Amino acid sequence: MSYTIEIYRRHQKAVRHLGQFALFVMFYPQLVAGPIERPQNLLSQLQTEQHFNSQRVASGLQLMTWGLFKKVVIADRLAILVNTVYTNPSQYTGFELLIATFFFTFQIYCDFSGYSDIALGAAQVMGFTLMQNFRRPYLATSISDFWSRWHISLSTWFRDYLYIPLGGNRVGLWRWQFNLLFVFLVSGLWHGASWTFVLWGALHGLYLISEIWLGKLASLINQAINPKKLHNLINPTISRNVIRLLKWCGVFIFVMYAWVFFRAENLQDSIYIISHISIANANFNRISVLIGGNIELFFAFALIVGLLAVEIYQQHSLAFGSLRQQIRQLPLWSRFALYYLSVMMILILGKFFNAEADFIYFQF
């Protein structure tokens, strides 16, 4: 669709070469589940002669390995509990529903971003650069920040082809809010013709609208209270970090809450889960049995913590170049050991025999 729209808008010249057009449409790394590529980016690369570059191939393979790790080690491991609980939620306690939802929050991220990394890596091996689809979304400190990091190719697609043509934010306040809600309702429907997806989209639309009002409220408070007086009471660095942490927690909880609607089999189940989910009576005994033992449960939590640690490190080490660039600068034997360990970890810790191990986004 983006090709047709871009040609119509005269942002892109029509391709006259059938082979190049076919290659663009059927470019296999991103054919099944994105990233949703724009013609401007991919077509120009298809028209350029590619030469072998060992650094680029190695970098692509690194990305594919990382994607595979996220998919088969993290996502498919978490899926065991998530699938069991979400198939029949009424059989489980509020705490078990909470842990399953928490796991799904990371399952869907690792599943989908894992696929995107494999697609990006495969394209990179062949000499093509696809657009980044995820940028550490669970480190977001606002919902709008979350959407600038999650499924970037889809959110920018909706931004460029729906939100901006509707007027975007350059309209009156009420129209702006309508635009946001409408775009997210359509985004929900894009995932499937089900009320659960519509509600998921609507929730995110409402989150963004609430953010507009919270922003207005915050500026009113700022005007009413002199910030300098506050800084005399609390160290500004500490207060900034505490506010950041609170924002991060808030965004994470709201996003996790919305995932319930995305994952539930039907509306009744999602309402049941929302009304019963609870932190009370925390008991890991049955969860441990459901996921396959204490060791599996330990791995599940350890992998989530590890994933967040890597992402936080990446976020803060951007000034020193990406993690992959840093790996490239290691001595040959260290790199060799690192690659060996990565592949062995995938083979040893991967879940290869789950009945429902397809990529979640293959259905959309």
Partner 1 sequence: MQRLILSIFNFNMRVFFTKLLSLGLVIAMSTLLIGIITRPEESRSLGVTIAKHRVLQQMASPKVVLIGGSNLAFGVDSARLQQELNTNVFNLGLNVYFGLKFHLDEIRPYVRSGDLIVISPEYHLFYIDALKLIETDYIMPSVIHATFPRSAVYFPIRDQLSALLIALNRLPSRIGDRIRQIPSGPDLTFAYNYLGDFIDHLNIPASDRSRINNADSKAPANINWRELSFDQNSIQYLNQFDEFARARGARVVMVYPSWPNHLYQLDPTFYQDHHAQLRQRLNIPILGTPDCYVYPTEHMFDSPYHVDAIWRQERSKRLIEDLQPFTH
Residues near partner 1 (CB under 8 A): 52, 54, 57-58, 61, 293-296, 299, 336, 339-340, 343-344, 347-353
Residue with tokens 């350890």: 302
Residue 191 is a catalytic residue? yes
Residue 243: CB minimum distance to partner 1, A: 40
| Residue closer to partner 1 (CB basis): 173 or 344 | 344
| Residue closer to partner 1 (CB basis): 257 or 339 | 339
- CB distance 191 to 200 below 8 Å: yes
Residue with tokens 């991919």: 42
Which one-letter amino acid corresponds to residue 178?
Answer: F
| Residue closer to partner 1 (CB basis): 94 or 350 | 350
| Residue closer to partner 1 (CB basis): 174 or 352 | 352
Residue 355: CB minimum distance to partner 1, A: 9
CA 103/CA 159 separation, integer angstroms: 29
Q: Judging by beta carbons within 10 Å of its beta carbon (0-12, 13-18, 19+), is residue 168 exposed, middle or buried? A: middle
| Residue closer to partner 1 (CB basis): 271 or 338 | 338
Residue 357: CB minimum distance to partner 1, A: 12
Length of the chain: 364
> Which run of H or E residues covers position 46?
helix 39-46
Per annotation, catalytic residue among 191, 204, 276, 316: 191
CB atoms within 10 A of CB 279: 9
Residue 188: CB minimum distance to partner 1, A: 34
Q: Pull the structure tokens for residue 328.
A: 């490239």
Calculate the alpha carbon distances from 298 to 114, 128, 278, 280, 295 in Å: 21, 38, 21, 21, 5
CA 151/CA 161 separation, integer angstroms: 16
Three-state secondary structure along 156-194?
HHHHHHHHCCCCCCCCCHHHHHHHHHHHHHHHHHHHCCC
- CB distance 86 to 100 below 8 Å: yes
Residue 227: CB minimum distance to partner 1, A: 52
- CB distance 196 to 262 below 8 Å: yes
Residue 294: CB minimum distance to partner 1, A: 8
| Residue closer to partner 1 (CB basis): 217 or 344 | 344
Active-site residues: which are they? 191
